[in-house]
Structure 1
Amino acid sequence: MRNRRKKQSDPIFPLKIDELKRIMERKFENNPDLAFSIYEQANKKVAVFSISYMIEAEMVENYLLRPLLRMEEEWSKETIMNEIPLGESDTKDKLEDILTAIMIGEVFVYVEGEDAVVSYLLSNKEKRDLTQAETESLVLGPKVAFTESIVTNLNIIRYGIRSTDLVMERLEIGERASREVRLIYLKSIADDADVNTMRQRLQDLKVDEIEDTSVLMQYIEDSSPTIFPQFYLTELPDRFAYSVMKGRVGVLVENSPSSLIAPSSFFSFLESTEDLYMRWNAGTFLRFLRFIALIISVLLTPAYVAATTFHYEIIPTQELITIGESRSVVPFPPIYEALLLEFSIELLREAGARLPTKIGQTIGIVGGIVIGTAAVEAGITSNFLVVLVALSALASFTIPNYLMSTSVRILRFPMIILAGTFGMVGMMFGICFLIIHLLKLKSLGRPYLAPIYPFRWEDINKVLYRLPMSKQYKRFVSYQPKDFIRFGKRKSAEKKDIDE
């Protein structure tokens, strides 16, 4: 009875095996999946216990139980560890540690009267094969994506960053259902302040469980009320490795196919790894295209609403006649018309995402055409606005990151309301509020609009446009990496023929 009153964090051994069995059965509410076997040898008792479906049964039978029962030496903690050096072995003497480890597939061996149990990690982890990324499509570059197995993900990263400088710190997060979390960075490049800040935020997190990397991101981000993501969430190992090599900090969570990259600026959400794999001039063109698409996605529909509601004078006369004829049969003011169409587009997008792939694509294309045509013929909306809304929707698809794309889509609704209520003045108020909000945001304590604010000219070519590879000899200075230089500037400019 004395042992029962001990805290889970206190050592509970030595114990009688029958007492240990009662404790485990009580903790698991007599769960039938708790396998607890007792063996005897010359007046010595040993217990082998685990969760049956969490372990490799064949390995336990062939490489643990058989050698254990055939041992000629007297059973003890030391002799078992010496005679059965199987995989990752350890000793534990606290109930809390045993309960945590048994749920990840460890098998325990306890010799009656000893002061600790011997544990072996023989987990049977189900995992899917490596596949292409679903949310981040690429034309050039590696297409393999992370999986739910953290061991597989660590192998992929280690294969991509073959450096002894790579640090993979292991943390356990979750008070009731703990999960393994890895903090990953390059020791000689990553800024210590970023590493320490991320480590502290992870260690200070007191929650029951972490469902996914995206959930962890919401717990540790700098500002919760904002609509903008402050950490980059990616399922591409090459994007993760590229960011870590630039001096950023990465985080992996067990049973999650996504990784987290910090700090991240607003402009990093408009970058794609394809910009790196293309020639510098093509990459620069695509970046400019995304910036223009961002402006179109946020402001095109609100500008139409403001112009047709308050500012007819800014529309060319011939175009004004066309718009007037198009809207002559529409009974709603432009603000309701725009909100209705935008809401319909979002419904189609959400329905297409939730349905099976082939059906979803059909619903998105056919539904958009049918609803748009029917709405114009029924006089619910004008054909001019249908074109603008479709163009805004297309522009939002060019943003590589799904979280940022979602934020931009949501921004259109308050901008339309401001434009329909106050005209261009309302739009300017919305734009100014948005800029001020972005200036105040931080990512892991770093400015969200770096390198525009604070301004650093040497980093502009890394966010707004691309230079040839021979000119990109510096890392992102705004994040203060320990080593700013990627390679020598003078050596990169030298070009020699084979006979020189």
Structure 2
Amino acid sequence: MRKSRKKQSTTSLFPLKVEELKKQIEEKFENNTDLNITIYEHQNKNLIVFYISYQVAKEKVENVLLKPLLESKKEWDTSSILNEIPLSAGETVDKKENILKNLINGSVIVYVENENAAVSYVMLNVEKRGLEKAETESVVIGPQVAFTESLETNLNIIRWRIRSTDLVLEKFLIGERTPREVRLLYLKSLANETDVSTMRQRLQDLVVDEIEDGNVLMQYIEDSSSTIFPQYYATELPDRASYAITKGRLSVLVENSPTAIIAPTTFISFFESTEDLYMRWNAGSFLRILRFFSIFISVLLTPMYVAAVTFHYEIIPLELLTSIGESRAKVPFPPIFEALLLELLIELLREAGARLPTKVGQTIGIVGGVVVGTAAVQAGITSDILIIFVTISALASFTVPSYLMGTTIRVLRFPMIILAGTLGIIGIMFGICFLFIHLLKLTSLGRPYLSPVYPFQSEDFNKTFFRFPSTFQGKRFVSYRPKDLMRFNNKTAKEKNDIDE
């Protein structure tokens, strides 16, 4: 998908008759009834105006462009139109490729017969939805606004949060058949030059038909396409994107996508929430540690049950072993099949709840889980103790702030259950070792994925696994290698300058 771009023609289309131009445009937009082409006669000269009707603001075209153009007593040519019409977004175009590109991007094209260029005015009629609360990354404390599908709105939000002339917004146009605008955002005085150059090169070298969404772009430019782990963070929260930018990282915004890409990213950062910053450091640290603990619960709890019941009865306390034996007395299936069946049932309920309308989905999730679980126990298909373990594992996976990483953890449970059911604890240890080796090999924009654990960076531990008070966090993340490592002086921040009474 990365290859050299096609060279555009450098031959000018003009000068020519307006009828000839009309014929060429109509041939290119065959059977497009929304293409509006009108030929006017003004001051003994033919004038052609064409645009796609549903893409432009028609009132603006009529009142701001056509009315002064046709009522004027001047003899129009390309330069006089561009200078006299009071519109800032005007430019001259003389190549057919540029005219077609501007046309489908919401421009109005004006051409005076036998001139050397046409005039293009951007009059895009953009449909926007209002700013709303985030859905996939809901927060209780902190800003509630989320990104929208409008790139202009998203850039405006970031600009409003980062009021600095140091903010760079590099522009790219990606897509051979359906071009979309992509913006690379970073602070010039902080972002690592290697990271900026790497991301810029990946965006420039990308040649595809279209970019459907920011999440699709993320898959095109990631370091490894074979891993199940996301290598960039996809967020719909402007405060998270701006926080990452002010710490020396990069963000990428895509036109028509309500998602911002944050890079580089570490495995640990997927378990951090912006709420941790807005809480007291004690509570924020507790919740962050709880999320890390939930990873092990989600991935290992059900496999440990399967391994213990299948191979290692001796590690189960006698009282609990009696309860497990009684609950499994009527179950005809081996523990591995029983666990996989329940895990699949949980995933079916979760997927059904996500696809149905909100109110119906909540009902399906609660009622379906209770009814199906109770019926499965009474029918002797599964044991009630395993239902408890599977439910706890599912709840633990939902504590992950990132939807992509949460899905990854839920998928990992299935191979771990199979390893536990076939090899016992040895299989679980094999799976854990394989995961650690795989994570050690991964990179995000060329940076180690397991940083600050590997390579070991003790200075970043108080910003990842837990939080110290803000006065102790004078340094930025060493792992991301920003140009300016210091945020403020720790000693000065600790000084109390209260007024003596």
Instruction: Note whether the superposition's TM-score is higher than 0.5.
Output: yes
- What per-residue deviation string (whole Å, max 9, x for no partner) do you get for residues 444-470 of structure 1? 111001111101111111111001011
- Which aligned pairs between 1:143-158 and structure 2 lie closer than 5 A? 143-158=144-159
2:339 corresponds in structure 1 to 338
Q: 1:187 corresponds to which letter in structure 2?
A: K
1:3 corresponds in structure 2 to none
1:246 corresponds in structure 2 to 247
1:265 corresponds in structure 2 to 266
2:64–2:86 CA contact under 8 A, matched in 1: no
1:306 corresponds in structure 2 to 307
User: C-alpha separation between the residues in 1 aligned to 2:387 and 2:405?
Assistant: 24
User: C-alpha separation between the residues in 1 aligned to 2:10 and 2:432?
Assistant: 54
Alpha-carbon shift at residue 291 of structure 1 (Å): 0.7
Q: Say if 2:162 is the partner of 1:194.
A: no
User: C-alpha separation between the residues in 2 aligned to 1:399 and 1:366?
Assistant: 24
1:296 corresponds in structure 2 to 297
User: C-alpha separation between the residues in 2 aligned to 1:487 and 1:85?
Assistant: 48
2:463 counterpart SS class: coil
- What per-residue deviation string (whole Å, max 9, x for no partner) do you get for residues 68-100 of structure 1? 112222111111011103131111112112211
Alpha-carbon shift at residue 43 of structure 1 (Å): 2.5
1:459–1:477 CA contact under 8 A, matched in 2: yes
Structure 1 ranges of 4+ moved more than 2 A: 6-11
TM-score computed with the length of structure 2 as normaliser:
0.97
1:180 corresponds in structure 2 to 181
- Which aligned pairs between 1:195-210 and structure 2 lie closer than 5 A? 195-210=196-211
Alpha-carbon shift at residue 38 of structure 1 (Å): 1.1
- Which aligned pairs between 1:160-179 and structure 2 lie closer than 5 A? 160-179=161-180
Alpha-carbon shift at residue 102 of structure 1 (Å): 1.2
User: C-alpha separation between the residues in 2 aligned to 1:7 and 1:337?
Assistant: 61
User: C-alpha separation between the residues in 2 aligned to 1:150 and 1:332?
Assistant: 54
User: C-alpha separation between the residues in 2 aligned to 1:7 and 1:385?
Assistant: 63
User: C-alpha separation between the residues in 1 aligned to 2:93 and 2:455?
Assistant: 51
1:139 counterpart SS class: coil
- Which aligned pairs between 1:367-386 and structure 2 lie closer than 5 A? 367-386=368-387
User: C-alpha separation between the residues in 1 aligned to 2:233 and 2:10?
Assistant: 37
1:60–1:122 CA contact under 8 A, matched in 2: yes
Q: 1:469 corresponds to which letter in structure 2?
A: S
User: C-alpha separation between the residues in 2 aligned to 1:100 and 1:110?
Assistant: 16
- What per-residue deviation string (whole Å, max 9, x for no partner) do you get for residues 86-127 of structure 1? 131111112112211211211111111222211111100111
Moved more, 65-74 or 440-449: 65-74
User: C-alpha separation between the residues in 1 aligned to 2:302 and 2:201?
Assistant: 43
1:462 corresponds in structure 2 to 463
TM-score computed with the length of structure 1 as normaliser:
0.98
User: C-alpha separation between the residues in 1 aligned to 2:364 and 2:303?
Assistant: 27
User: C-alpha separation between the residues in 1 aligned to 2:13 and 2:188?
Assistant: 39
Q: 1:97 corresponds to which letter in structure 2?
A: N
User: C-alpha separation between the residues in 1 aligned to 2:386 and 2:160?
Assistant: 50
Alpha-carbon shift at residue 39 of structure 1 (Å): 1.2
2:85 corresponds in structure 1 to 84
Q: Say if 2:371 is the partner of 1:361.
A: no
1:49 counterpart SS class: strand
- Which aligned pairs between 1:87-106 and structure 2 lie closer than 5 A? 87-106=88-107
User: C-alpha separation between the residues in 1 aligned to 2:123 and 2:205?
Assistant: 30
- What per-residue deviation string (whole Å, max 9, x for no partner) do you get for residues 264-315 of structure 1? 1001100000000001010100011001111000000000000000001111
User: C-alpha separation between the residues in 1 aligned to 2:234 and 2:8?
Assistant: 39
1:113 corresponds in structure 2 to 114
Alpha-carbon shift at residue 13 of structure 1 (Å): 1.6
1:497 corresponds in structure 2 to 498
Q: 1:231 corresponds to which letter in structure 2?
A: Y
User: C-alpha separation between the residues in 2 aligned to 1:163 and 1:289?
Assistant: 36
Unaligned runs of 5+ in 1: 1-5
User: C-alpha separation between the residues in 1 aligned to 2:425 and 2:369?
Assistant: 29
Alpha-carbon shift at residue 8 of structure 1 (Å): 4.8
1:234 corresponds in structure 2 to 235
- What is the RMSD of the two structures over their aligned residues, measured on CA atoms? 1.2
Alpha-carbon shift at residue 45 of structure 1 (Å): 1.5
1:488 corresponds in structure 2 to 489
2:440 corresponds in structure 1 to 439
- What per-residue deviation string (whole Å, max 9, x for no partner) do you get for residues 302-345 of structure 1? 00000000001111111111101111110000000000000000
Q: 2:395 corresponds to which letter in structure 1?
A: L
1:9–1:95 CA contact under 8 A, matched in 2: no
- What per-residue deviation string (whole Å, max 9, x for no partner) do you get for residues 7-51 of structure 1? 755321222211111111111114111111111123212111110
- Which aligned pairs between 1:393-404 and structure 2 lie closer than 5 A? 393-404=394-405
- What per-residue deviation string (whole Å, max 9, x for no partner) do you get for residues 392-435 of structure 1? 00000100000000000000000000000000000000000000
1:275 counterpart SS class: helix
1:462 counterpart SS class: helix
2:216 corresponds in structure 1 to 215
1:412 corresponds in structure 2 to 413
User: C-alpha separation between the residues in 1 aligned to 2:85 and 2:452?
Assistant: 57
